Amino acid sequence: MQKTASQSKILVVLPGWNGSHETWTDFVALAKPHFQDVVVIDLPCFGDEPCPKAVWGVEEYAEFAKEKISKYANRQIVLLGHSFGGSVATQLVANNPDIASKLILSGAAVIRPKNYLKRFIFGTMAKIGKGCIAILPSQKLKILAKKVLYRVADSPDFSNTSGIKRDIFKKIIRQDLRHLLSSIAIPTCVMQGTEDTYVPFRHGKIIADGIPSASFVVIEQGTHGLHQKKTAEVFLSDILEFCNK
């Protein structure tokens, strides 16, 4: 039986914030028969990788990913960046065009609007909320109140951070990478779900329009996690179509 083009390639996945090899296990099992190998790189602070000692930005995460990917030198790599992993992949490929043969961006958090008003509101809410939370009678209520505060402020990932991880999060959400899009020279597929509530649909279109060799694939009823059960097969089918071109 003749091999498809994808079966001579390694699919390397950079997960999103709070993602790891564990959150991609089911998709890896689904995709492996179609590739030479499927590798998920845990980024620092997630999975098996500890947080760095310094406050990293997207640049440092890209250098970390570059070092991990270097072990697959001289192999055909398809790089898949999801959410925060999409911003890392964008930074990596823009500055290292030979790191991969193709790029896939899924719900990529590349565009970071300044949202000064939103930040001001969140900062004010945080100060007021901290005082209110402090007087709650039990630790359980305090934890619940914090989660509600962060959800109202539209920052669900923020509630899952602390210490240096929180400082890193606060840094990376301010790093808008639109200026790098025109530097991406390899074939790219930007994939966006119509029901993604984390990365606005219009951002996916802007990213695709900004990359010279990009195609834009829309997955109907797809949420932020296109690799998850609901849309995993459609997601993989679109990936294979792109890889086998």
Confidence tier at 121 by pLDDT (50, 70, 90): very low
Residue 96, CA distances (Å) to 70, 72, 91 in order: 11, 15, 8
Sequence letter at residue 135? I
Record the tokens describing residue 209, joined without a space. 């329009």
Helix intervals (H) in 136-220: 139-152, 163-172, 201-210
Question: Per the structure block, which two tokens stand in for 143?
Answer: 């934890």
Rounded mean pLDDT, 145-156: 52
Domain boundaries, given as residue ranges, for the chain: 5-112+177-243, 116-169
Handedness of CA 110, 241, 27, 75 (dihedral sign): negative
Q: What is the mean pLDDT of residues 186-203?
A: 95
**Overall average pLDDT of the 95-115 stretch:** 93
The amino acid occupying position 13 is: V
| Intra-chain end-to-end CA distance of the chain, in Å | 19
pLDDT digits (tens, 9 = 90+) for 10-36: 999 999 999 999 999 999 999 999 999
pLDDT tens-digit readout, 213-234: 999 999 999 999 999 988 999 9
Superfamily grouping for domain 5-112+177-243: Alpha/Beta hydrolase fold, catalytic domain (3.40.50.1820)
Three-state DSSP class for 6?
helix
Instruction: Give Cα separations from 138 to 20, 77, 144, 166 (angstroms).
Output: 33, 51, 10, 24
Closest by CA to 213, choosing from 187, 239, 191, 189, is 187
